Amino acid sequence: MDSQPQESDITTGQKVNEDCAVIGFSGDGVYSSIIAGLRSLQHRGQESSGIITYDGKIHVKKGMGLVSEVFKNADPMPGIVGIGHNRYSTSGSKGIENAGPFVISCSLGYIGITHNGEITNEHELREELKHDGYIFTSSSDTEVMLIEFVKEISRYGINEGIKRGMERLKGAYAAVLMINDRLYAIRDKFGFRPLVLGRTFNGYIIASETCAIDALSGETIKNVEPGEVIEVFNNSYKTIFKLDGDVSHCMFEYVYFARPDSIIDNIEVFQARVRMGMRLAVESPVDADVVVPVPDSGRAQALGFSKATGIPYSEGLIKNRYSERTFIMPDQKSRLAAIKIKLNAIKSEISNKRIVLVDDSIVRGNTMKYIVKIVRDAGASEVHVRISSPPITAPCFYGVDMKTKNEFIAANKTIESIKNEIGADSLAYLSIDGLKQAIGIKSICISCLTGIYPEYVPLS
Amino acid sequence: MDSQPQESDITTGQKVNEDCAVIGFSGDGVYSSIIAGLRSLQHRGQESSGIITYDGKIHVKKGMGLVSEVFKNADPMPGIVGIGHNRYSTSGSKGIENAGPFVISCSLGYIGITHNGEITNEHELREELKHDGYIFTSSSDTEVMLIEFVKEISRYGINEGIKRGMERLKGAYAAVLMINDRLYAIRDKFGFRPLVLGRTFNGYIIASETCAIDALSGETIKNVEPGEVIEVFNNSYKTIFKLDGDVSHCMFEYVYFARPDSIIDNIEVFQARVRMGMRLAVESPVDADVVVPVPDSGRAQALGFSKATGIPYSEGLIKNRYSERTFIMPDQKSRLAAIKIKLNAIKSEISNKRIVLVDDSIVRGNTMKYIVKIVRDAGASEVHVRISSPPITAPCFYGVDMKTKNEFIAANKTIESIKNEIGADSLAYLSIDGLKQAIGIKSICISCLTGIYPEYVPLS
Amino acid sequence: MDSQPQESDITTGQKVNEDCAVIGFSGDGVYSSIIAGLRSLQHRGQESSGIITYDGKIHVKKGMGLVSEVFKNADPMPGIVGIGHNRYSTSGSKGIENAGPFVISCSLGYIGITHNGEITNEHELREELKHDGYIFTSSSDTEVMLIEFVKEISRYGINEGIKRGMERLKGAYAAVLMINDRLYAIRDKFGFRPLVLGRTFNGYIIASETCAIDALSGETIKNVEPGEVIEVFNNSYKTIFKLDGDVSHCMFEYVYFARPDSIIDNIEVFQARVRMGMRLAVESPVDADVVVPVPDSGRAQALGFSKATGIPYSEGLIKNRYSERTFIMPDQKSRLAAIKIKLNAIKSEISNKRIVLVDDSIVRGNTMKYIVKIVRDAGASEVHVRISSPPITAPCFYGVDMKTKNEFIAANKTIESIKNEIGADSLAYLSIDGLKQAIGIKSICISCLTGIYPEYVPLS
Amino acid sequence: MDSQPQESDITTGQKVNEDCAVIGFSGDGVYSSIIAGLRSLQHRGQESSGIITYDGKIHVKKGMGLVSEVFKNADPMPGIVGIGHNRYSTSGSKGIENAGPFVISCSLGYIGITHNGEITNEHELREELKHDGYIFTSSSDTEVMLIEFVKEISRYGINEGIKRGMERLKGAYAAVLMINDRLYAIRDKFGFRPLVLGRTFNGYIIASETCAIDALSGETIKNVEPGEVIEVFNNSYKTIFKLDGDVSHCMFEYVYFARPDSIIDNIEVFQARVRMGMRLAVESPVDADVVVPVPDSGRAQALGFSKATGIPYSEGLIKNRYSERTFIMPDQKSRLAAIKIKLNAIKSEISNKRIVLVDDSIVRGNTMKYIVKIVRDAGASEVHVRISSPPITAPCFYGVDMKTKNEFIAANKTIESIKNEIGADSLAYLSIDGLKQAIGIKSICISCLTGIYPEYVPLS
Ligand SMILES: Nc1ncnc2c1ncn2[C@@H]1O[C@H](COP(=O)(O)OP(=O)(O)O)[C@@H](O)[C@H]1O
Ligand SMILES: Nc1ncnc2c1ncn2[C@@H]1O[C@H](COP(=O)(O)OP(=O)(O)O)[C@@H](O)[C@H]1O
Ligand SMILES: Nc1ncnc2c1ncn2[C@@H]1O[C@H](COP(=O)(O)OP(=O)(O)O)[C@@H](O)[C@H]1O
Ligand SMILES: Nc1ncnc2c1ncn2[C@@H]1O[C@H](COP(=O)(O)OP(=O)(O)O)[C@@H](O)[C@H]1O
Ligand code: SF4
Ligand code: SF4
Ligand code: SF4
Ligand code: SF4
Ligand SMILES: [Mg+2]
Ligand SMILES: [Mg+2]
Ligand SMILES: [Mg+2]
Ligand SMILES: [Mg+2]
């Protein structure tokens, strides 16, 4: 089959890296281990998927779509080490040449990288590197990282080079660097994005979330700590250094992004969500008949809300499991109806009842408006919306695709007016303090809630 | 793009119709209404999808895959009436020419049909029809239905012809017949498979389940009763006749197949499932710490079990939402691990706890064995499996893809030995009586539980 | 890969059968022999391709595109007999369900057909057959043929049934009927379209042209004569009957359609074309420096013209071999330039010379206008256009896609005004008499030259 | 549609650049002009196709397959300048990341390149450049060229940088360098591969062959001379310098590779081929009845042979125009027959005649063996093979895919034994002197005939 034309835009400054999944594997069964890992991290990115393996030579496969689509009929790739990447889709126009992982050959041999996060001084670094004579083939910040590392490593050797690179790279990055047959797990000093190290029966795995280690029946060894770099080589691993600094774990991983069965920086995500629901119940109780989650993201929190209040929990909304992929309905009216294809109410659970509707967060608010309508249409006598995180009011520059302040419903509106807009009888968000307590660690990033950033950001 | 070659097998007697979805629509917005209906019934069949519309001429579109894949970039089809079909996938080798709906032209004009069920005397009818001079282009029993109706209608007119056709067609069928601009909702006299009539803001809809009517923000008018035929024409509908007989609604629709938000023959599926769980708790109680559903099919039942026993309900298993599609892992070891890609435990909910694991049914038993293992690996101190339906021991000849007795784990094994095989501490199934009470109607089919069939079946 | 949606239009009366290729094979190596045959007959149709084989069961593969595209990665189809079809493309909107071959099952077993030609009373027969209770699944006249044969054979047995079918079918057909493991080569009594029988080292082949037999290193046994039916069965063949009547071989096969290396009704096509050129030279000589063919269709005729006149032959135009497939240039100006992508002049052969430009025929005249321009731009001092067949002035109803009288440049214009329109210094066509003499048989169809048809045609 | 996975191999030293087509365009209508140019140069490469345009930003589209396939449904690319590339297919495994053109961004802005030829010191340069800190993303020698130019230009400015780059790059290259909105036509000092400059009604075009300029109805301005660099910018062009040295135009362009309607280094290719045939007739005359070309590559030469000898020319072989694309026949026997699908004899032109069979060259000899057999099977009384170029005995290192000496039938065999192997009655090749005279220039490369190379080659 003839391949599709590929579009490219290597124009500097266009952001292409949003929340993603990374995998590194060293040992036997590299290809199938990376495939399994990427499939278990598919929720972190569905736009494109890619794998690079090394066995003296380099092998690369990338494609648009889910892991299972891209690698469906692919021949297994040979390798003693390898890295993999799932990219998050924000729009369909992003070209394959911006898809991870990246690999180059240079005087050091073959160097590949897979990265989750966002380099905030990407633009400055790119210009500097160009000034130094480096060249770029894409507009991806991952390529800037890669070349920055190549530059420093060429000058200072691997360990010192990685350190110097990290000192120059600002922003969020949880990455795996592959230098020939060695892997380096690299996490920025704030620890925005998660990264863990595990062991399977036939090798070492580095992954964005523990659920990838579980998928291989492996065991988690440790978190890659903020600022830490771990080398995996020759069937062993060692920390080669750890930069110090204030820690700032993304609260949104706990609230929404991560899988509920993952453990992130020692916190069980599911339990954190249950606690968010409990805490929310304490902060904003309500007299009602049943607690109903917005599936799937509100389920753990609704269980917590129910537990804390004693109001029975039930499933009152059904999510159509086949509506994930974008499909444009052919006319305007049917487009409006499309939300009903995605979600439907179980009338018998809702009719004539006072409903507490629990979800994780509200970004734009459109969806919540329709969900409230669906619940009302199903006969609810009251609809109380409870959101298990605080209002989002500022952009994220650390790898989550929330950039434009104007999009956030909470940016310029009072809670009262949001309540009216979505048509709820009452609306409450979790407080920032409540969130911190529920997660159980203090050193979390809350910049998108406060607009205060732990470090320079490219505000324009 | 050049299309794919299409395989065909018109060999008589090869079964190709398993549980499926049907839609008929008459009014404005035929195409988008059928699309929305089919998308909301996608759970009844993911192998292929097709739509036929009529506007004086006939328009047909069919393809392999999900509705959203088949119709992704398709031009809207013009029409004043139309029918649609989703087919269930049991294997990938089934050709497009066996995919519904079917349409022919003859002296009566254009006649199309979409059908869910299985004609038990398909073989005899096909031979008789061939003897009468009729010809076949596929091995589908839907074509046999269509031609049987054409034959009788040609001789006796529409109403009498449909009646005579129904008298000759044995087995299960919930179908929509399109005769030029008229639609006929047809349900076999046992009422095995569901069929409902609804009204939207711009037309009439006939559908397998009420959730399709909901998806169009329509209202359900009535069930198509067992043996009933309803004509939809000229912006109105009327029952043209109703055959009498013993009713036999498929219990498996309530147990597993239908969407929980649908109402089937006046019974709310979700509530029936909750009652199955409650009843199971009464029949086979157990001392435990937490009730955990096997997602998604055990959720309502687990809620019922929890409610009846007071044992707290929680989510302890996470289902990877991206593992639905078949993807073959590249080696044996990774194939074994694949179940872990599909399901993972939330250790913190399970560790050191006595778990009641609730699911809807067990057919072959392989999956349940692995689920118990996953729960044990997560540290459960006890695992009590509770199945909210009775053991399946006999084949279904009425449209559900359970044909080979040897496949059923319960066919030749005691419950004790099944318990040992799946590695549970205890195992209990719901009783047949309990099932009937939970569903709340007496006239249900339980043939696959008893091996006793309400009518002749082609046992070989 | 998920297949494409398929459009259908079974509306009676829409013509879908234009000049095509048919193959039948009985013996060993059915699949690969049919593939080779179809590939060698690709010039007779590039729109779609299909094969049906029989080995007790029926196997069907069809698809849009060239043989090599449709069957690229296909598994070989088992069979002891089989038939194949290439369809000619007149427009891209024709659905796969109208693509040949066709197959049905009925009381006689499996009956398949592949057909080249056009049934002129298709509409009447279809209505009659519907009246008799027959049903249709497509708008193809091939299906009408098939069902007409099924009807007669059911009543009168195979031999008598085929005869009666042929007596009722008007128009042009060269077909292979497959009745279970028997093949029947069937040619209408006029013999419009070619059909030959051959023998390879491992079986019998029926084909539209001898070049298909050559492709299998086989030998041609005989023409299937006009009105003749030959049965191939059990490793032997026999004529089962032959209808009498006036013969009318399509002159256009010799002029343009057939491959130059084929022998049609005992006339070598290449030699016939050389004679057309010679005869044209005698009828319309011209004083010139070089004879240049329009490649590829004018080459043999130009050689004849050169031979008869002594004016040297040379290649003066180059045809881009990669421009066959439709590709729409992105803007108007580049669309006009597209003809230059298809054809270019060899200036050194043309500049300052008096050119005799020889082609086979002119239908619409657009292309010839541009070719004359290209030759003039290359510096020709004079351009004399010589067309090796008479002007086309009337539609063909016998299987060649020339339907609309208004399209023909010669329908309403004098030769003088055509000459001016295409910008030639002189223009001459071959006379009808000259054509007959060049081909060397009297009994040729010339209806599209005269507007007089050997039989009823559905003039509307 | 989800794209295909892409394989990559950036292992140094794997050759990926064989004879190809390049286009550069500056002016209005960049996209459609490049498309038209690439389509007219499709014969130089069918494996992949790509275009890069610049309009302040960079736009890239590449894909596997013909131009018409890759750009079929593509949106037009905006641009004020652009470059394009067709790649020659030697095997299907070559990845898209090795497909031209290439583009990078660096301190100079955007730099793109499209290249035809082969860099003989690619390996050494790559290592040196790596040593200098440069990095590579593919194994293509085009990337080495690009980076070498970037390096020199960064240091010395554009004009001096290109010159220094050319002094370091050994081997064959005809390239277009795009530096932001400027184009540079660059030809190695030997002038192995052709390159011309032309003017169309809306801009300047640089192309591998004049037929691309013709396709745009443009006029050829001049050859890019060996060692010359021409800048096209701001609607004008100028030579910026010209390196001196011995010239060595590839004789194989005249013999086989180029289109017959092109003019290469002032020699009309068609006429050169006619002269090769005439000269061959003088060197190796033979008493025969008809001169038959092997289509299409032997046609001009056969015309020359006929002209020089007076033996009549005719077409005796038909080439199936649909057999270009690789299609694997399903079994061994049919694979052997496949040559008959590609070529067939016109028996009436050959039977009982003494044939002079004329082709351009013999590389491996397999095909010629079968052609002689086809001609004999068609009844030729004698078959005299005349090859219009000398025997190929040594590998090409300058961009033509003839690498392995062992493959060449003439490398280790006498002409007598080749004659026997192919089954001819006589065999003669053109002499090297004859070739030179026929082409009409002395300074031609004949390294693959002599094994003597004008410059260092990486013999291994
Ligand atoms: N959209 C939906 N939302 C929730 N449940 C659904 C939906 N569609 C189907 N179901 C239910 O899902 C169950 C099947 O899902 P699940 O248990 O996850 O898969 P499996 O078929 O592997 O058992 C059935 O009980 C069906 O009634
Ligand atoms: N495999 C999974 N099983 C259950 N929940 C998941 C899974 N993968 C991701 N999630 C959770 O699903 C939530 C997102 O799902 P959902 O609410 O259904 O969709 P949406 O993104 O439209 O809000 C997130 O909270 C995420 O943590
Ligand atoms: N458009 C064209 N028209 C005619 N000849 C062409 C064209 N393009 C390339 N050629 C010539 O065709 C020859 C190759 O064609 P041919 O002999 O048919 O195929 P093969 O590569 O199998 O030998 C070359 O000599 C080339 O110069
Ligand atoms: N394989 C072939 N080799 C040479 N000529 C062929 C072949 N197949 C078909 N033809 C002849 O080619 C002619 C059509 O080709 P051509 O003139 O190039 O295209 P067009 O259809 O645009 O006129 C017909 O006369 C046909 O007989
Ligand atoms: S700004 Fe918000 S989304 Fe971004 S890293 Fe911080 S907490 Fe996470
Ligand atoms: S046999 Fe079982 S599955 Fe089949 S219709 Fe009856 S209850 Fe349903
Ligand atoms: S009308 Fe013309 S094209 Fe048609 S069959 Fe007769 S001669 Fe051939
Ligand atoms: S070695 Fe031969 S093919 Fe290569 S450039 Fe020289 S003449 Fe051409
Ligand atoms: Mg959600
Ligand atoms: Mg289940
Ligand atoms: Mg032509
Ligand atoms: Mg050749």
For residue D397, how far is the Cα from the chain centroid? 13
Strand partners, A64: A48
In a domain, C96, yes or no: yes
Instruction: Note whether D104 contacts A10, CB cutoff 8 Å.
Output: yes
Q: Are residues C209 and C305 in the same domain?
A: no
Q: Does C250 appear as a known binding residue?
A: yes
In a domain, C176, yes or no: yes
Residue type, C104: I
Q: Which tens digits make up the pLDDT trace of B10-23?
A: 543 334 446 799 99
Contact C143, C137 (CB under 8 A): yes
Task: Using the structure block, give the residue that is written with the tokens 């023998």.
Answer: C199
In the set A16, A17, A18, A20, the catalytic residue is A20
User: Does the structure show a pLDDT above 90 at C88?
Assistant: no
Q: Is B373 in the pocket of ligand 1 (CB under 6 A)?
A: no
> ipTM of the predicted structure?
0.87
- β-pair type (B171-179, B182-187): antiparallel
Residue D101: asked if its preceding bond is cis (omega within 30°), the reply is yes
Q: Which atom of ligand 6 is nearest to the CA of B172?
A: 5
Query: Which pLDDT belongs to residue A14?
Result: 39
Contact C146, C134 (CB under 8 A): no
Pocket residue to mutate for ligand 8, from D193, D250, D253, D389, most atoms within 8 A of Cβ? D250
Instruction: Tell me how long chain D is.
Output: 460
A 10 A CB-CB count for B265 gives: 22
For B296, the 3-state DSSP assignment is coil
User: Can you tell me the distance from the alpha carbon of C389 to that of C409, in angstroms, rounded to the nearest whole number?
Assistant: 14
- Centre of ligand 8 to C-alpha D448, Å, is 5
* CATH of residue B276: 3.40.50.2020
Contact B25, B212 (CB under 8 A): no
The tens place of each residue's pLDDT in chain A, 460 residues long, gives 223 344 444 543 334 446 799 999 999 999 999 999 999 999 999 889 999 999 999 999 999 889 998 998 888 999 999 999 999 854 333 566 677 899 999 999 999 999 999 999 999 999 999 999 899 998 889 999 999 999 999 999 999 999 999 999 999 999 999 999 999 999 999 999 999 999 999 999 999 999 999 999 999 999 999 999 999 999 999 999 999 999 999 999 999 999 999 999 999 999 999 999 999 999 999 999 999 999 999 999 999 999 999 999 999 999 998 875 556 677 766 666 667 789 999 999 999 999 999 999 998 888 899 999 999 999 999 999 999 999 999 999 999 888 777 788 999 899 999 999 999 999 999 999 999 999 999 899 999 999 999 987 776 5
* CATH of residue C208: 3.60.20.10
Query: Which pLDDT belongs to residue D166?
Result: 98
Q: Which tens digits make up the pLDDT trace of B270-289?
A: 999 999 999 999 999 999 99
Q: Are residues C160 and C233 in the same domain?
A: yes
Distance from CA of A325 to the nearest CA of B (A): 8
Distance from CA of D274 to the nearest CA of A (A): 37
Contact D356, D290 (CB under 8 A): yes
Q: Which tens digits make up the pLDDT trace of B50-77?
A: 999 999 999 999 998 899 999 988 889 9
> Which residues form ligand 4's pocket by a CB distance below 6 Å?
C 43, 256, 258-260, 295-297, 319, 360; D 318-321
Q: Are residues A419 and A272 in the same domain?
A: yes
Q: Are residues C277 and C334 in the same domain?
A: yes
User: CA separation (Å) from C244 to C189, C247, D154?
Assistant: 6, 9, 86
The tens place of each residue's pLDDT in chain D, 460 residues long, gives 223 344 444 543 334 446 799 999 999 999 999 999 999 999 999 889 999 999 999 999 999 889 999 998 888 999 999 999 999 854 333 566 677 899 999 999 999 999 999 999 999 999 999 999 899 998 889 999 999 999 999 999 999 999 999 999 999 999 999 999 999 999 999 999 999 999 999 999 999 999 999 999 999 999 999 999 999 999 999 999 999 999 999 999 999 999 999 999 999 999 999 999 999 999 999 999 999 999 999 999 999 999 999 999 999 999 998 875 556 677 767 666 667 789 999 999 999 999 999 999 998 888 899 999 999 999 999 999 999 999 999 999 999 888 777 788 999 899 999 999 999 999 999 999 999 999 999 899 999 999 999 987 776 5
Q: Which residues have their alpha-adjacent CB atom under 5 A from ion ligand 12?
A: D 297
Q: Are residues C219 and C272 in the same domain?
A: no
Distance from CA of D220 to the nearest CA of A (A): 31
Query: Which pLDDT belongs to residue D14?
Result: 39
User: Does the structure show a pLDDT above 50 at C3?
Assistant: no
A206: which 2 tokens? 């580095």
Sheet holding A219-223, edge to edge: A58-64, A48-54, A81-87, A21-27, A203-207, A196-200, A219-223
Instruction: Tell me how long chain A is.
Output: 460
Q: State the total domains in chain C.
A: 2
Pocket residue to mutate for ligand 8, from D432, D448, D459, most atoms within 8 A of Cβ? D448
Stretch C227-251: mean pLDDT, rounded? 97
- Centre of ligand 3 to C-alpha C262, Å, is 23
- β-pair type (C263-264, C267-268): antiparallel
Q: Is D43 in the pocket of ligand 3 (CB under 6 A)?
A: yes
In a domain, B446, yes or no: no
Pocket residue to mutate for ligand 3, from C318, C324, C343, most atoms within 8 A of Cβ? C318
Stretch C394-420: mean pLDDT, rounded? 90
Q: For residue B385, report the phi and psi dihedrals to the nearest 5 degrees.
A: -90, 130
Query: Which pLDDT belongs to residue C7?
Result: 44
Distance from CA of D182 to the nearest CA of A (A): 18
Residues in chain D with CB shorter than 8 Å from the CB of C43 are: 321-322
Query: Which pLDDT belongs to residue B59?
Result: 95
Closest partner residue to D348 (CB to CB) among C259, C271, C321 is C271
Quick one: A156 exposed, middle or buried, by C-beta within 10 A (0-12, 13-18, 19+)?
middle
User: Can you tell me the distance from the alpha carbon of A166 to that of A188, in angstroms, rounded to the nearest whole number?
Assistant: 7
- Nearest-10 Cα torsion for B117, B119, B123, B128: -130
Collect all residues with Cβ–Cβ distance below 8 Å to D388 and sequence separation of at least 6.
Answer: D255, D273, D276, D277, D280, D298, D301, D304, D358, D359, D360, D361, D430, D438
Query: Which pLDDT belongs to residue C287?
Result: 97
User: Can you tell me the distance from the alpha carbon of D292 to that of D319, in angstroms, rounded to the nearest whole number?
Assistant: 13
Instruction: Note whether C110 contacts B60, CB cutoff 8 Å.
Output: no
- Residue C211 catalytic? no
Q: Are residues D230 and D280 in the same domain?
A: no
Instruction: Note whether C344 contacts D214, CB cutoff 8 Å.
Output: yes
User: Can you tell me the distance from the alpha carbon of A375 to that of B214, in angstroms, rounded to the nearest whole number?
Assistant: 12
User: Can you tell me the distance from the alpha carbon of C445 to that of C395, in angstroms, rounded to the nearest whole number?
Assistant: 12
Cα–Cα nearest to B387, from B243, B277, B252, B282: B277
User: Can you tell me the distance from the alpha carbon of A252 to that of A446, in angstroms, rounded to the nearest whole number?
Assistant: 8
Q: What is the DSSP letter of C407?
A: G
Which residues form the domain of B196?
Answer: 21-247
Q: Which atom of ligand 5 is nearest to the CA of A402?
A: 3
In a domain, D8, yes or no: no
Q: Are residues C218 and C319 in the same domain?
A: no
Q: Which of C213, C247, C281 is the last residue of a domain?
A: C247
Q: Is C322 in the pocket of ligand 3 (CB under 6 A)?
A: no
Sheet holding D426-429, edge to edge: D290-293, D354-359, D382-387, D426-429
Residues in chain D with CB shorter than 8 Å from the CB of C258 are: none
Contact D423, D414 (CB under 8 A): no
Residue type, D250: C
Q: Is A446 in the pocket of ligand 5 (CB under 6 A)?
A: yes
**Side-chain half-sphere exposure of D388, counting CA atoms within 13 A:** 36
Contact A255, A76 (CB under 8 A): no
In the set D16, D20, D103, D229, the catalytic residue is D20
Q: Are residues A80 and A219 in the same domain?
A: yes
Q: Are residues C223 and C105 in the same domain?
A: yes
Q: Which atom of ligand 7 is nearest to the CA of C447?
A: 1
Closest partner residue to B62 (CB to CB) among C6, C69, C107 is C6
Closest partner residue to C337 (CB to CB) among D42, D215, D323 is D215
Query: Which pLDDT belongs to residue D17?
Result: 43
User: CA separation (Å) from C217 to B262, C29, C230, D338?
Assistant: 65, 14, 22, 10
Residues in chain C with CB shorter than 8 Å from the CB of D323 are: 39, 68
DSSP states of C206-272: EESSHHHHHHTT-EEEEEPPTTEEEEEETTEEEEEEE------EEHHIIIIIS-TT-EETTEEHHHH
User: CA separation (Å) from C364 to C400, C402, D128, D377?
Assistant: 14, 10, 62, 40
- Centre of ligand 9 to C-alpha B314, Å, is 19
User: Does the structure show a pLDDT above 90 at B314?
Assistant: yes
- β-pair type (D290-293, D354-359): parallel
For C23, the 3-state DSSP assignment is strand
Query: Which pLDDT belongs to residue D450?
Result: 96
Collect all residues with Cβ–Cβ distance below 8 Å to D133 and sequence separation of at least 6.
Answer: A106, A107, A133, A134, A151, A154
User: CA separation (Å) from B458 to B125, B317, B393?
Assistant: 13, 41, 17
Closest partner residue to C4 (CB to CB) among B11, B63, B133 is B63
Give me the percent of chain B exceeding a pLDDT of 70. Answer: 91
A 10 A CB-CB count for B123 gives: 14
In a domain, D259, yes or no: no
In a domain, C1, yes or no: no
**Side-chain half-sphere exposure of D345, counting CA atoms within 13 A:** 21
User: Can you tell me the distance from the alpha carbon of A45 to that of A303, in angstroms, rounded to the nearest whole number?
Assistant: 27
User: Can you tell me the distance from the alpha carbon of B304 to that of A230, in angstroms, rounded to the nearest whole number?
Assistant: 48
- Nearest-10 Cα torsion for C244, C249, C250, C256: 150
User: Does the structure show a pLDDT above 50 at C8?
Assistant: no
Q: How far apart are the first and last CA of chain B?
A: 45
Q: Are residues A193 and A302 in the same domain?
A: no
Distance from CA of D240 to the nearest CA of C (A): 31
Query: Which pLDDT belongs to residue A335?
Result: 67
pLDDT confidence band for C11 (50 / 70 / 90): very low
Most A CBs within 10 A among B41, B296, B322, B358, hence the mutation to make, goes to B322
Across the B/C interface, how many CB contacts are shorter than 8 Å?
A: 149
Q: What is the DSSP letter of C8?
A: B
Q: Which residues have their alpha-adjacent CB atom under 5 A from ion ligand 11?
A: C 297
Query: Which pLDDT belongs to residue D10?
Result: 54
In a domain, C367, yes or no: yes
In a domain, B453, yes or no: no
Q: Which residue has the higher pLDDT, D334 or C269?
A: C269
D430: which 2 tokens? 């053109």
C74: which 2 tokens? 């296909």
Q: Which tens digits make up the pLDDT trace of C318-333?
A: 999 887 555 667 776 6
Q: Are residues D204 and D297 in the same domain?
A: no
Catalytic residues of B, by residue number, are 20
Query: Which pLDDT belongs to residue D460?
Result: 56
Q: Is D252 in the pocket of ligand 8 (CB under 6 A)?
A: yes
- Centre of ligand 7 to C-alpha C403, Å, is 11
Helices (H), A284-318: 299-309
User: Can you tell me the distance from the alpha carbon of A335 to that of A327, in angstroms, rounded to the nearest whole number?
Assistant: 10
Instruction: Note whether A7 contacts D60, CB cutoff 8 Å.
Output: yes
D97: which 2 tokens? 């990341």
Q: Which of B184, B215, B247 is the last residue of a domain?
A: B247
State the chains in contact with B (3 or more Cβ–Cβ pairs under 8 Å). Answer: A, C
Residue type, C117: G
Q: Are residues D237 and D317 in the same domain?
A: no
- Nearest residue (CA) to ligand 2, atom 13: A297
Cα–Cα nearest to C209, from C434, C399, C456, C19: C19
User: Does the structure show a pLDDT above 60 at C17?
Assistant: no
User: CA separation (Å) from A436 to A259, B231, B336?
Assistant: 19, 61, 40
Residue type, B401: D
Query: Which pLDDT belongs to residue B360?
Result: 97
Q: Which of D247, D277, D302 is the last residue of a domain?
A: D247
Give me the percent of chain B exceeding a pLDDT of 90. Answer: 80
Q: How far apart are the first and last CA of chain D?
A: 44
